[in-house]
Amino acid sequence: MTRKIKVLDTTLRDGEQTPGVSLTPNRKLEIAKVLDDLGVDVIEAGTAIASDGEKEGMRLIAKQGLKAEVLSFARILQKDIDAAMECGVDGIFLVAPTSDLHIKYKLNSTRDEVLKKVEECVQYCRKHGLVVDLCTEDGSRSDLKFLLKVRNLAAELKADRFTLADTVGVMTPEKMSVLVSRLVDKSKIPVGIHCHDDFGMATANTLAAVVAGASMVDVTVNGLGERAGNACLDEVVVGLKLLYGFNVGVDPKKILSVSEFVEKTCGIPVPPNKAVIGENAFTHEAGIHVDGILKKPETYEPISPDFLGAKRTFVLGKHAGLKAVKKILEDEGFKMNDDQVSEVFRQVKYLGDKGKHVTSVDLESIANTVLGLEHKRALKLEELVAVAGNKFTPTASVKLRINGIEVLSAGTGTGPVDAAINAIKAATKDVPFELVEYHVDAISGGTDAVVKILVKLKTKDRIVTAEGVGSDIILASVDAMVNGLNSIMVHSK
């Protein structure tokens, strides 16, 4: 199956309807540019009629000269199409409700009235040289005869595409297969598919629709979208390519960076166990799995990390096997004999059984001890003062000893922890690193709880994880940072 399947990305329209997401015009433009570079065929950039900011964003995107076709969402109302035209977009994602439920209760209208408006709007778009993607809202719960009538009308009026929307995500792959087969049968225009994930079926339904003959898929980055979200770009693209062998223009090696960019820009985190793009997708902990992967990656990697330009990582814990520990030690540059590796392994297991994350700093410290090397510390915290309250900007000052030299610095932040970390960053500004994760766990309950802080620091070639533990959250955070930075500084010498 080498049929070409086109990708319509609606992160900037349906994705922006995610609760809690609102983007400025410039942010929308930045996302549109990365989507274009990723290789999507169509960008649904927003709803021009919605607001002045939305119009401004769409104007910026439309005049950017992207390779992708740029569409605006519009209801079957001329004023919506006029607003889109003012922004200079290539075309309209024209949405017509087709289920009786929507026609009667939402529009207080009739099927005939909907047909009339569709006709007027498609003709209006054609007259103005706009591309028209006619989308049937709640199409999956519509009467098939009526859907076919709308499709035939769209084709007669020379709309460019007919899209079936499973607006509330109630389809199953079996039903989708039957319905889309009917919609593509004798269709004079391409059929697109737009799925939502209310039952966790958006990807499966989208793939089933393509196998049944749909030739365009609507997706969002990270599966953003109303309620449970839309079909996600990563799963749909990787599924189409690797499970079915379809031809898709998106570059798989750019999917992860686009996902990260949208995650940061929209502020909606991707769960670690998310398929394809989750942090754990190429991370292996269990001993038997790591052993298998070291022998032949295909044993436990259905998607090769190379396909996505991802990096395989092994993490240590109580499931870790001896071979994994040996491999990680080698990767970290330790030269050890079998007895020494076994001793490190024993200590890793011991920590894992105590419920501790074995961080890369822990491993380094264990290995150095086993090798009889003194664990070098380039950085030492000597003093920490942090103040906060409703009358002050949270401020912190630190006294550090860096390679024997005393360094004083201060920082402000959104709270005392942020201020203290900013003070450390200021003191170590010559060390190239980025704090990519900060995580707090309360080990015991109550306000006097012992907290465990986990930080991930990214340098050019590796990610260092480090922990700080204590009942003072500010001090534990600073300790975690100092531990991580020590590892970076010792390595970079």
Interface residue list for Mn ion (CB under 5 A)? 14
Question: What's the CA gap between 68 and 90, in Å, rounded?
Answer: 10
Question: What's the CA gap between 367 and 62, in Å, rounded?
Answer: 56
Choose between 50 and 60: whose C-beta lies nearer to Mn ion. Answer: 50
CA nearest neighbour of 368 among 389, 392, 347, 396: 347
Q: How far is the CB of 125 from Mn ion (least distance, A)?
A: 20
Q: How far is the CB of 165 from Mn ion (least distance, A)?
A: 6
The DSSP call for residue 135 is E
Nearest residue to Mn ion, scored by beta-carbon proximity: 14
Please state, in angstroms and as integers, the Cα–Cα distance from residue 492 to each residue in 317, 329, 383, 479, following that order. Answer: 26, 17, 25, 20
Choose between 228 and 463: whose C-beta lies nearer to Mn ion. Answer: 228
Choose between 14 and 467: whose C-beta lies nearer to Mn ion. Answer: 14
Q: How far is the CB of 474 from Mn ion (least distance, A)?
A: 44
Residue 420 φ/ψ, nearest 5 degrees:
-65, -40
Task: Report the C-alpha dihedral over residues 83, 86, 89, 94, rounded to 10 degrees.
Answer: 20
Q: How far is the CB of 107 from Mn ion (least distance, A)?
A: 17
Choose between 14 and 80: whose C-beta lies nearer to Mn ion. Answer: 14
Q: Sign of the CA dihedral 334, 340, 344, 345? A: positive
Q: How far is the CB of 141 from Mn ion (least distance, A)?
A: 14
Residue 450 C-alpha from the chain's centroid: 32
- The tokens describing 93, both together, are 């994602």
Question: What's the CA gap between 425 and 200, in Å, rounded?
Answer: 42
Choose between 133 and 479: whose C-beta lies nearer to Mn ion. Answer: 133
Choose between 73 and 314: whose C-beta lies nearer to Mn ion. Answer: 73
Residue 398 φ/ψ, nearest 5 degrees:
-130, 145
CA nearest neighbour of 463 among 346, 343, 344, 312: 312
How deeply is 190 buried, as exposed, middle or buried, from its count of CB atoms within 10 A (0-12, 13-18, 19+)?
middle
> Are the beta carbons of 198 and 225 closer than 8 angstroms?
no
Q: Sign of the CA dihedral 360, 366, 372, 373? A: positive
Choose between 202 and 421: whose C-beta lies nearer to Mn ion. Answer: 202
Choose between 136 and 397: whose C-beta lies nearer to Mn ion. Answer: 136
Q: How far is the CB of 166 from Mn ion (least distance, A)?
A: 9
Residue 338 φ/ψ, nearest 5 degrees:
-60, -40
Q: How far is the CB of 144 from Mn ion (least distance, A)?
A: 21
Residue 158 C-alpha from the chain's centroid: 36
CA nearest neighbour of 124 among 165, 149, 150, 91: 91
Q: How far is the CB of 134 from Mn ion (least distance, A)?
A: 14
Question: What's the CA gap between 340 and 369, in Å, rounded?
Answer: 10
Choose between 161 and 284: whose C-beta lies nearer to Mn ion. Answer: 161
Q: How far is the CB of 179 from Mn ion (least distance, A)?
A: 17
Give the type of residue at 63.
K
Q: How far is the CB of 61 from Mn ion (least distance, A)?
A: 19
- The tokens describing 67, both together, are 């390779």
Question: What's the CA gap between 23 and 60, in Å, rounded?
Answer: 13
Neighbours of 217 (CB within 10 A): 29
Choose between 231 and 363: whose C-beta lies nearer to Mn ion. Answer: 231
Choose between 20 and 446: whose C-beta lies nearer to Mn ion. Answer: 20
> Are the beta carbons of 41 and 35 closer than 8 angstroms?
no
Residue 4 neighbours by CB under 8 Å, 6+ apart: 215, 246, 247, 248, 249
Question: What's the CA gap between 148 and 246, in Å, rounded?
Answer: 27
Residue 443 C-alpha from the chain's centroid: 29
Q: How far is the CB of 95 from Mn ion (least distance, A)?
A: 9
Choose between 193 and 325: whose C-beta lies nearer to Mn ion. Answer: 193
Q: How far is the CB of 196 from Mn ion (least distance, A)?
A: 6
- The tokens describing 382, both together, are 């000597």
